[in-house]
Structure 1
Amino acid sequence: MKKVRRKIGKYDVGRTIGEGTFAKVKFAKHTETGESVAIKVMAKTTILNHRMVEQIKREISIMKIVRHPNIVRLHEVLASQSKIYIILEFVMGGELYDKIVQLGKLSENESRRYFQQLIDAVAHCHKKGVYHRDLKPENLLLDAYGNLKVSDFGLSAFTKQGDDLLHTTCGTPNYVAPEVLSNHGYDGAAADVWSCGVILYVLMAGYLPFEEADLPTLFRRISAAEFVCPFWFSAGAKTLIHKILDPNPKTRVKIEEMRKDLWFRKNYSPVKLREDEQVNLDDVQAVFDDIEGSSAHGQSH
Structure 2
Amino acid sequence: MSSQRPPKSYPSTERSPKSYPSTERPPTPPGSDPEQVIPYFKPEPGVILSSSSLSLELVKLLGTGSFSSVWLARDTQGQLIALELVRKSSLARSKSLRGRRSRTIDGTRPLRRKPKDREGTGILSPRDEEPIKIMGLKCGRLVAVKMTERAVCDANSRSRVSFVREVEVLRHISHPSIVSYLHSFSTPSHHCLVLEHVGGGELLDLVDNPTSHARITEPLVRRIWGELCRAVAWMHSVGLVHRDIKLENILLTSDPFAEPLPSSSLIKLTDFGLSRFIDPEQPLLTTLCGSDSYAAPELVMGKPYDGRQTDAWACGVVLYALATRRLPFDASPPNGIIPHDHPPQLEADWEVQRRNRADRKALLNRIAQGDYSWPDVPDIPTEERRGVALAGSEGIRRMVARLLVRDPRKRARVVDLWVDECGWMHGEGAPPPPVVDNPPVPPSPASRPVDTGDDTVPIVVNGVDGAEFEADVDAYLDADAEAEDEGVLVDGEDIGPGSVVRQEH
Q: Does TM, scored on the shorter chain, surpass 0.5?
A: yes
List aligned pairs for 1:88-167, cutoff 5 A: 88-103=195-210, 105=213, 106-144=216-254, 146=256, 147-167=266-286
Q: Does 1:255 align with 2:414?
A: yes
Structure 2: distance between partners of 1:162 and 1:64: 24
How has the CA–CA distance of structure 1 residues 260 and 11 changed in structure 2, closer, same or farther, with 3 Å as cutoff?
farther
Structure 2: distance between partners of 1:130 and 1:84: 24
The aligned counterpart of 1:37 is 143
* Amino acid corresponding to residue 431 of structure 2 in structure 1: S
**2:329 aligned to which of 197, 210, 219:** 210
The alpha-carbon deviation at position 136 of structure 1 amounts to 0.9
Q: Does 1:11 align with 2:55?
A: yes
Structure 1: distance between partners of 2:220 and 2:491: 33
Instruction: Report the RMSD for the aligned CA atoms in angstroms.
Output: 2.4
Uncovered stretches (5+) of structure 2, i.e. residues with no partner: 8-47, 79-128, 130-139, 257-265, 332-357, 378-388, 433-480, 495-499, 501-505
The alpha-carbon deviation at position 280 of structure 1 amounts to 8.4
The alpha-carbon deviation at position 281 of structure 1 amounts to 10
**1:221 aligned to which of 366, 372, 396:** 366
The aligned counterpart of 1:79 is 186
Structure 1: distance between partners of 2:361 and 2:489: 45
Uncovered stretches (5+) of structure 1, i.e. residues with no partner: 283-287, 289-301
TM-score, length-normalised on structure 2?
0.52
The answer as to whether partners of 1:75 and 1:87 remain within 8 angstroms in 2 is: yes
The answer as to whether partners of 1:141 and 1:149 remain within 8 angstroms in 2 is: yes
The alpha-carbon deviation at position 275 of structure 1 amounts to 6.9
Bigger share in helix = 1
The aligned counterpart of 1:54 is 161
The alpha-carbon deviation at position 139 of structure 1 amounts to 1.1
Structure 2: distance between partners of 1:275 and 1:210: 33
TM-score, length-normalised on structure 1?
0.85
Structure 1: distance between partners of 2:218 and 2:491: 37
The alpha-carbon deviation at position 215 of structure 1 amounts to 2.7
Structure 2: distance between partners of 1:274 and 1:156: 19
Give the percent of matched residue pairs that are identical in Structure 1 and Structure 2. 30
List aligned pairs for 1:154-193, cutoff 5 A: 154-193=273-312
1 or 2 for the larger relative contact order (CA 8 Å, sep ≥6)?
2
Aligned to 1:75, the other structure's residue is in SS state strand
The answer as to whether partners of 1:66 and 1:124 remain within 8 angstroms in 2 is: no
**1:278 aligned to which of 477, 490, 493:** 490
Structure 1 residue ranges, 4+ long, deviating more than 4 angstroms after superposition: none
Paired residue total = 283
* Amino acid corresponding to residue 191 of structure 1 in structure 2: T
**1:198 aligned to which of 317, 321, 325:** 317
Based on CA coordinates, which of the two structures has the bigger radius of gyration?
Answer: 2
Any idea what the Cα deviations from partners look like across 1:74-102, whole Å, max 9, x if unmatched? 11112234432211111111111011111
Any idea what the Cα deviations from partners look like across 1:99-154, whole Å, max 9, x if unmatched? 11113633322222111011011112212222111111011111125411111112
Structure 2: distance between partners of 1:149 and 1:180: 25
Q: Does 1:269 align with 2:431?
A: yes
* Amino acid corresponding to residue 126 of structure 1 in structure 2: H
Any idea what the Cα deviations from partners look like across 1:167-205, whole Å, max 9, x if unmatched? 122211111111111112011111101110011000110
